[in-house]
Structure 1
Amino acid sequence: MKSLSINETGLSAQIWNSAAQLDNISVINTQSLVPPGARAVIIAPHPGDEVVTCGGLLQLLSSLDHPLLLLSITDGSASHPGSRQWSEKRLSVFRPQESVEALRRLGLPMHSLKWVRGGFTDNALLNQQAQLTEFISRYLRPGDVVFSTWRNDSNDDHEAVGCASYEAARQVGATYYDVPVWAWHWPERDHALIPWERARKLRLDTWTVARKSHATHAYASQLKGEPAIGIAPMLPPVILERMRLPYEIVFI
């Protein structure tokens, strides 16, 4: 796995704000990604990943009345080890509540959204590949279009869930697409590690971007770290800045 370092100032030359290839990515529309009538399945390793990866896509699919399924693999309770303010017990309740508020801010129909929580322990998924694949495949069906974190995203949980999602989709006859998250924050010099030939750009209008940004701010527990015990924000300013881009990118 590639090592990751995020510059929280948002001013450094990272792939998301510096790579020349971004301007040349082919545009794809929602209907090409998810055919009419197909169900879209968003698989989030942690609460918040569903918005960071696909917050715009979720809005577009909802507006077209596509059936949606959200799988939350973990409850994100291990994000602040050693913290008194954000203990695992508190986070196990609080982070799913943050997701409810974030999805509400996206404008999704909460009364009809199918949402399954896996209950796996975060930061411990790398050695649970078989269990993850079995769990995910339980909820997939042929013809689904599945989106999850890129299988080379520089985060153990992201990569484990991406690999398990890919394998589960393959087994049941569903389509799988990778969505990069941390990879965009690699230094620009690492741009060659991105599979640009697989990248497709989904354009978002101003209101869709605004709702996505607003939804990201629902994750209060992730916006501030605890420097005294060495915990950095899970959603530092540089990621919040990237959420305002007028597009999302998937690897097909």
Structure 2
Amino acid sequence: MKAGDAQAMFRTLPVGMLDEIVPGTAMILAPHADDESLGCGGLIAASCAAGRPPLVVIVTDGAGSHPGSPTWPAGRLRAKREAEAEAATRHLGLPPGRLAFLRLPDTRSPHEGPEFEFAVETLRCLAAEHRCDTILAPWSHDPHCDHESVWKMGLALSRQDRRALLAYPVWGWLIAPDTELDTPPPVGWRFDVTPYLSRKAIAIEMHESQYGELITDDPAGFRLPDRLLEVFASPYEVFLRP
């Protein structure tokens, strides 16, 4: 099917309740610090309000967003992005001890091999420790190498431990509408995040290094595009069954 058709169907999925979408405790796999707030910020806030906070795992170190900045070398940028994730998830209500960092290399998260297997085993141990019932990972068609890697990790983890797996689109919202996707029509839910929308918006803004005003000495540096931010100002988040 075409990407535009899939995106249109995302917007007409049935509205599900939190217990229907994520019964028990969720593990949210975010390829980079900010993906957790963009794709799942409302769900994180709702889960925390319901007394069952998820475990949020930031998979890569985030140091690849501004590789040409002389004032923000990798170590400084890594620390900044982790601090942003801590502040954003705390604002969403996530208590201490529910945020983990794998610190895999940004733009080089593994897709297979020993490093991939080690990452999956680390996630398996975290899921067991925090008694996670459902894995949330980026949509398999998100057009970013790290998102594809983290989807594969979620899939491998769910198959090993037979945990439920859901996908959330991030960059998939911006795929050109005429792009052909090798995927069946999407199945899943929209989750109404209206009660948490303002909190989610603030959490997204807390990832200030990704907006372009903080790091100004890398002309090729990453900046969150307005089109993507508009998508995540919606009162619904989308969660797909594989």
TM-score above 0.5, yes or no? yes
Q: 1:200 aligns with which of 178, 184, 189?
A: 189
Runs of 4+ in 1 over 4 A off after TM superposition: 191-195, 225-228
Counterpart Cα distance in 2 of 1:109 and 1:66: 10
Amino acid corresponding to residue 120 of structure 1 in structure 2: L
- State the Cα distance separating 1:25 from its structure 2 match: 1.5
Q: Which runs of 5+ in 1 are unaligned?
A: 1-13
User: 1:126, 1:156 within 8 Å by CA — same for their partners in 2?
Assistant: no
> In 1, Cα distance between the equivalents of 2:231 and 2:217?
23
Q: CA RMSD in A?
A: 2.4
- Does residue 231 in structure 1 map to residue 221 in structure 2? yes
Provide Cα deviations, 1:6-26, integer angstroms capped at 9, x if missing partner.
Answer: xxxxxxxx959x954344312
Task: Give the alignment's TM-score, normalised by structure 1.
Answer: 0.83
Aligned to 1:138: 125
Question: Which amino acid in 1 is paired with 2:103?
Answer: G
Whole-Å Cα distance in 1 between the matches of residues 231 and 187 of structure 2?
20
Q: How does 1:154-173 map to 2 (within 5 A)?
A: 154-173=143-162
Structure 2 CA distance for aligned equivalents of residues 143 and 114 of structure 1: 11
SS of 1:43's partner is strand
How many residues align? The count is 232
Match of residue 177, structure 2, among 188, 194, 198: 188
Q: Which has the higher contact order (CA 8 A, sep 6+)?
A: 2
The TM-score with structure 2 as length reference comes to 0.86
Identity of aligned residues (%): 26
Cα distance, 1:214 vs. partner? 1.1
Name the CA distance, whole Å, in 1 between partners of 2:126 and 2:32.
18
Q: 2-side partners of 1:19 and 1:124: how far apart? A: 27
Matches within 5 A, 1:68-147: 68-106=54-92, 108-111=93-96, 113-127=97-111, 128-141=115-128, 144-147=133-136
Residue number in structure 2 paired with 1:33: 21
